Chains A and B, each alone.
Chain A
Amino acid sequence: MISCDEATAICDKNQYGEASNWDKLKLNFHLLLCKHCATYSKQNNAITKMLGKYLDTCDGSKHLTLEEKKELEKKLNEKIN
């Protein structure tokens, strides 16, 4: 029976799809018996979902101003010449 420390670590690895089948087996067994880790696991999944949306967002909320773009163009021309 693995510790909570080990279980939560496997849970994290699993978020990236890199937990082995054996790891997952040990984790699932632990989750049946430990409600703290079961809570952690559920929340970890929620966080992964949030991060996915957060990082995939090119919602245009962050963009360069016209001035910044002109400055960028200037710098590029300077460095090429």
Chain B
Amino acid sequence: MSNSTKHTLDPNKWIDLYADYLFNYTVTRVDNSDLAKDLVQETFLSGIKGKDNFRGQASERTWLVSILKRKIIDHYRKINSVKGKKEVRMSFFSDGDRKGSWLEEAVPQTWGNEAEKNIENTELKSALNKCIENLPEKYRMVFLLKTVQNFETEAICNELDITSSNLWVIIHRARVQLRKCMEENWFKN
């Protein structure tokens, strides 16, 4: 039987080969450099402990990333239970219950051509980062988990013990706030 397509693990090279990639991956998703370092460390550790479970079908990096993703979702689950399941009642359509239509001050303004250009621009990225950071913690958490690739609605709901309706309400509120923040901080200048 040929082993030429089977991947092998070489933990001694992991830090040199993958530490930056994993760190970069994590820090855009958890917004906290120290936390990102811890998660990367735990990922390598789990990888070393669990290396007998590696079947060789995925590449080393893909395998490490899948461990990392589980660590990220575990982290969010921990925060969620520590803070309790208090629902943050915010409505961007009115002060109380959702009324259904746009309030005068919340109406979206035209953005002009800025929306299409310069998506690579680092200032734009930093404005986006700031607006994401301004989200209330629970919203930001769910928003990042969902907007990160490959976190399925069902998986997030199971991990955080919320319904899919809860999830979509939170995503909706997060995006409404994000849009408004981008409008005020980026597109109006």
Report which A residues bind B (CB closer than 8 A). Answer: 3-6, 8-9, 12-13, 15-16, 18, 36-37, 39-40, 42-44, 46-47, 49-51, 53-55, 57-64, 68-69, 72-73, 75-76, 79-80
Summarize B's interface: helix, strand, loop or mixed: helix
- Cα–Cα distance between A3 and B115 once the two chains are bound (Å): 26
- Cα–Cα distance between A55 and B16 once the two chains are bound (Å): 23
Contact A43 B128, beta carbon cutoff 8 Å: no
Q: List 6 A-B contacts (CB under 8 A).
A: A4-B100, A51-B147, A60-B20, A62-B24, A62-B28, A64-B20
- With A54-B28, A55-B149: A39-B110 Cβ-Cβ less than 8 Å: yes
Contact B102 A75, beta carbon cutoff 8 Å: no
Supply 10 further A-B pairs (C-beta < 8 A) apart from A55-B148, A58-B21, A69-B15. Answer: A4-B101, A5-B101, A9-B168, A9-B169, A15-B175, A40-B179, A43-B111, A50-B128, A62-B23, A69-B19
- With A54-B128, A60-B20: A3-B100 Cβ-Cβ less than 8 Å: yes
Contact B111 A63, beta carbon cutoff 8 Å: no
Shortest 7 CB-CB contacts between residues of A and residues of B: A3-B100, A63-B20, A46-B115, A39-B108, A58-B24, A4-B101, A9-B172
Contact B41 A72, beta carbon cutoff 8 Å: yes
Q: Chain B residues near A37 (CB, 8 Å)?
A: 102
CB 8 Å contact bits of B119-154 with A (1 = contact, 0 = none): 110101100110000000000000000111100010
- Cα–Cα distance between A4 and B179 once the two chains are bound (Å): 16
Closest chain B residue to A75 by CB distance?
B41
Q: Chain A residues near B41 (CB, 8 Å)?
A: 72, 75-76
- Cα–Cα distance between A3 and B48 once the two chains are bound (Å): 53
Q: Chain A residues near B172 (CB, 8 Å)?
A: 8-9, 12
Q: Chain B residues near A18 (CB, 8 Å)?
A: 153
Contact A76 B44, beta carbon cutoff 8 Å: yes
Report which B residues bind A (CB closer than 8 A). Answer: 15-16, 19-21, 23-25, 27-29, 37, 40-41, 44-45, 48, 93, 98-102, 107-111, 115-116, 119-120, 122, 124-125, 128-129, 146-149, 153, 168-169, 171-172, 175-176, 178-179, 182-183
**Selected contact of B108 from candidates A36, A57, A69, A80, CB within 8 Å:** A36
